[in-house]
Amino acid sequence: MTFLCCLGCRDRSQVNVSDIRPRETESDSLQTALAIVDGLDEADLNQATSRGIYNLNQWIEKHDDDPLWVTPSLLNTLPIHLAGTGLANNVGAKRFFSPDINYLHEMSWISQVARWIQANEVTHREIWDNYIPSDLEASDRAKLQSVLRQFDWTVRNIQLDPLLDYPKVPEGETKSAPELGLPGPGYSMAMRDILVFGKGDWWQRARLLALLARQVDVQVILLGLPAEFGELKEPWLAACLVGAELYLLDIEDGVPVMSSDGESIATLREVRSDLSFAATILPADLQDKAEVIVPGLVGLIEADVMSVSHRMAILEKYLTGERQMKLTTSPNGLSRTLRTDHGIENSEIWVSAYEYYAFAAALSQRLTAGDPEAIKFVRERHDYQMLEDMYQLKRGRYKSLRGQFDDYELELGQELQRGSKTLLMASRLAQEKISVMTTDRNVQEELGYVRPEEMSLSDWQENLRRTKLTFVRSKDMASYFIGMIHMEQGNYADAIDWLEKRTLQIGVEPTQSLSAELTPNQPATVEERPSLSLLPGLVTQESTLDINRLEQSNFENSARYNLARCYLAIGEPERAVEILQTVDAASDAGRANARLIKLLQP
C-alpha cells in the first residue's frame, strides 16, 4: 500500500444533504467507485485501489469546487517534517489518491459501528447513564449518551496495549522517529489494524473514539499538557463537547472522570473552578502544579490528512442512505469554539495520524529491505497473513464490524448470506483434531494435508506444526470475537460461556474438550469446516512449537474485563468484582479494573 499525506479542510456546518442534485448522485463513475469501496471487505485492497481512484477522479472532474472549503490555518501548527510531506502541496486538489480508498474503507467500518451501537439498546451499554447530569436538555443528553456508548464500546473492544515511549533518535540524525520507521506512541498502527485486531494503545483508542463520535455530530478532543510538562504537548484526557460543556473521559483507564462529589461526569469547567479537585486527577508527579497546568491546557484535535481534504469535502455531500458517513472535520471552527467558549487559548492538530503516515512509509521501506526487527514488529502487531490464510476468520471479523452478526438475506427469497458468528464458528477446528493433527494421518488427510514424496520428514513436521499453530491462534481470536458478538446482542449467558470457557478457559483442563452441546463446529458440509492450506515452514525462523492451546489468550485482559461486565449486566456485581480482581493490580489493566471496582463499590 502506498502511504501518502494530503491536507485540507472546510466548515461542514451548512451542508444540506437535501441539496444534492439527483443526476449527480446517479453518476455511473461515482456509483462504480462506491461499489468498489463497498466490496473491499471481500476484495484485495491493492487491486481495488486503482479502479476506485480512476472512477472517483472521473466523477469529481465534473463537479464544482466546494465553496465552503478553505485551507485551515491550523495546518501551520504541524511540524514541518510532517506537514510538508506527501500531498501537502495538493491540499485543495480535486483529485483522489491511493490512500483515500483505505480511508473510505476505514470510515465505512466506523460509520457502521457507530450506527449499530446507537440502534441496539442492551444493558451493558447503560453503565454510565446514571452519571449523566440530570439538568441536561433532552438533545444534549441524547448526544452525551451516544458518546458514552461509543466510549464504552471502544474501551471494551480495543484491548489496551502499553503506550510506547518516543524512540531515541541517533545523534546527528535529521529525521524523526516515525520517519525512521521506529515504533512509538499512538502512530504504530493504522486505524484498520486497530479495528480488525481489536488492540491499540490509549492514544489510538482516543483517535477511534473521536472518529466514532464524529458520526453522531459530537466533537471529541484530547486535552494536552502544556509543552513544558511533557513531550510534544502530551495528551492527558479525552473531552467530548456537548452543549456548553467539555465532559472528561479517561480513555486509558476506561472510565469517565467523575465530579468531586462522585455523582456525575466531570467537566473542564469544574476542573478549572476547583484546582484542589484538579490536582487529584492530574498525573501524580504533576499534582502540585495544577495552578499552572490547568489554565494552560492545549486542545489536540483529531484531523487526519484525509478528513481535511477538499476532495472528501465534495464527496461527503453525495453519500446518502446506508453510505452516509462523516468524512471531514473543521479544525479551525473547533479551535475557535474551544478558545471563545472554553478558554483553551492554544489548539493544534494532533500529530498522531500524521506520524502514522510517516512511520508507515518508512516501515514499508524497512520491510522491503528485509529488516528483521520490522518483520518481527509487523507479525506481532497485525498478522494479516493469518487472516488471509483463514479466510472465514477474516470475513467473519469484517462482518462483525458491520453489525452483520447473524445469517441474513440481502433480499427476500435470496440465498442466505452467512453472518459473522457462522463464519467465525466455521474457522474453529475441533480441539480433538488440533491435538493430533501433527501425528494422526487420518486427520491430516481429512484436512487435505498429504506429504509430498520429495519432502523430508523434518520439513513435513515443521509445516504441520506451523499450520497447527495458526489453527490454535485463529481459534483463540474467533472464540473471543464470538463472545463479544453475543455480548453486543445482549446474549449474556452465551457471551459468558464463550469468554469464560473458550477464550479464558476458566475451569477447563488443558486436555479437556468441551462437551458436544458447547461445540460450535457443524460438520454437515465442507463449506462450514475450517479452510486452511498447509503452511510452509520458514527457513529464517526457529522450529515452531507444537502446542494444542495457547497458555494465555491473546485477548486475555479484554476477555476478562468483558466477562466481568457480562456478570454485571445480569445482576451479579460480586462475581464481576471477583473477576476484575484476578488481574495484577500493578498492571495497566489492573489499575483500570480498580477504577471500575471503586465505582461498583462506593
Please state the φ and ψ torsions of residue 100, each to the nearest 5 degrees.
-65, -35
Scan for cell 503516515, then name that residue: 357
Is 376 domain-assigned?
no
Residue 408 has pLDDT above 60, yes or no: yes
At 313-355, the pLDDT tens digits run 999 999 988 899 999 999 999 999 999 999 999 999 999 999 9
pLDDT at 430: 94
Single-letter amino acid, residue 334: L
pLDDT at 385: 84
Range of the domain at 481: 391-571
Average pLDDT, stretch 128-152?
A: 97
Q: Which band of pLDDT confidence, cut at 50, 70 and 90, is reported for residue 28?
A: confident
- Of 2, 5, 3, give the one whose Cα is nearest residue 307: 5
Cell of 599: 465505582
Q: Which band of pLDDT confidence, cut at 50, 70 and 90, is reported for residue 10?
A: very low
CA distances from 336 to 73, 237, 254, 301, 330 (A): 11, 20, 29, 12, 10
The answer to whether residues 174 and 130 belong to one domain is yes
| DSSP code of residue 176 | -
The answer to whether residues 326 and 438 belong to one domain is no
Scan for cell 491550523, then name that residue: 74
Please state at what angle helix 28-38 crosses helix 98-119, rounded to 10 degrees: 70
- Secondary structure of 248-267 in HEC code, one letter for each residue: EEECCCCEECECCCCCCECE
Is 166 domain-assigned?
yes
Burial 65-78 (b: 16+ CB within 10 A, else e): ebeebbbbebbebb
Average pLDDT, stretch 504-518?
A: 57
Residue 291 has pLDDT above 80, yes or no: yes
- Of 183, 211, 124, give the one whose Cα is nearest residue 567: 124
Three-state DSSP state, 96: coil
pLDDT at 519: 43
The answer to whether residues 354 and 273 belong to one domain is yes
pLDDT at 21: 41
Look at the chain and report how many structural domains it folds into.
2
- Secondary structure of 435-451 in HEC code, one letter for each residue: HHCCCCHHHHHHCCCCC
Residue 455 has pLDDT above 70, yes or no: yes
Is 595 domain-assigned?
no
The answer to whether residues 334 and 439 belong to one domain is no
Scan for cell 457471551, then name that residue: 495
Q: Which band of pLDDT confidence, cut at 50, 70 and 90, is reported for residue 602?
A: low
Polymer length in residues for the chain: 602
Is 482 domain-assigned?
yes
The answer to whether residues 508 and 437 belong to one domain is yes
Q: Which band of pLDDT confidence, cut at 50, 70 and 90, is reported for residue 87?
A: low
Average pLDDT, stretch 195-206?
A: 97
Is 114 domain-assigned?
yes
pLDDT at 75: 87
- Regarding predicted confidence, which is higher, 518 or 567? 567
The answer to whether residues 469 and 349 belong to one domain is no
64-68, 122-126, 214-218, 433-437: which range is least confident on average? 64-68
pLDDT at 197: 96
CA distances from 381 to 19, 194, 244, 503 (A): 44, 9, 40, 19
Average pLDDT, stretch 18-22?
A: 39
How many of the other CB atoms lie within 10 Å of CB of 124? Answer: 20
Q: Which band of pLDDT confidence, cut at 50, 70 and 90, is reported for residue 544?
A: confident
Compute the distance between CA of residue 271 and CA of residue 187 in angstroms, rounded to an integer.
Answer: 29
- Regarding predicted confidence, which is higher, 22 or 63? 63
The answer to whether residues 315 and 463 belong to one domain is no
Is 553 domain-assigned?
yes
pLDDT at 11: 41
pLDDT at 543: 77
The answer to whether residues 354 and 478 belong to one domain is no
Q: Which band of pLDDT confidence, cut at 50, 70 and 90, is reported for residue 85?
A: low
pLDDT at 412: 75
Compute the distance between CA of residue 270 and CA of residue 260 in angstroms, rounded to an integer.
Answer: 9
16-25, 135-144, 330-339, 489-498: which range is least confident on average? 16-25
How many of the other CB atoms lie within 10 Å of CB of 458? Answer: 10
Q: Which band of pLDDT confidence, cut at 50, 70 and 90, is reported for residue 18?
A: very low
- Of 345, 347, 305, give the one whose Cα is nearest residue 329: 305
The answer to whether residues 210 and 321 belong to one domain is yes
Is 1 domain-assigned?
no
How many of the other CB atoms lie within 10 Å of CB of 510? Answer: 8
Average pLDDT, stretch 416-427?
A: 94
The answer to whether residues 443 and 347 belong to one domain is no
pLDDT at 537: 52
- Of 483, 519, 481, 469, give the one whose Cα is nearest residue 395: 481
Residue 469 has pLDDT above 60, yes or no: yes
Chain mean pLDDT for the chain: 88
Is 371 domain-assigned?
no
Instruction: Confirm whether pTM is higher than 0.95.
Output: no
Q: Residues 101, 52: contact at Cβ < 8 Å?
A: yes
DSSP states along 353-414: HHHHHHHHHHHHHHHHTT-HHHHHHHHHH--HHHHHHSHHHHHHHHHHHTT--S-EESSTTS
Residues in Cβ contact with 540 at an 8 Å cutoff, skipping those fewer than 6 apart: 372
CA distances from 478 to 87, 237, 316, 404, 486 (A): 39, 32, 34, 15, 12
CA distances from 185 to 156, 201, 304 (A): 20, 7, 16
Q: Which band of pLDDT confidence, cut at 50, 70 and 90, is reported for residue 231?
A: low
The answer to whether residues 310 and 416 belong to one domain is no
Alpha helices in 84-137 (DSSP H): 98-119
The answer to whether residues 339 and 245 belong to one domain is yes
Compute the distance between CA of residue 80 and CA of residue 89 in angstroms, rounded to an integer.
Answer: 13
pLDDT at 227: 74
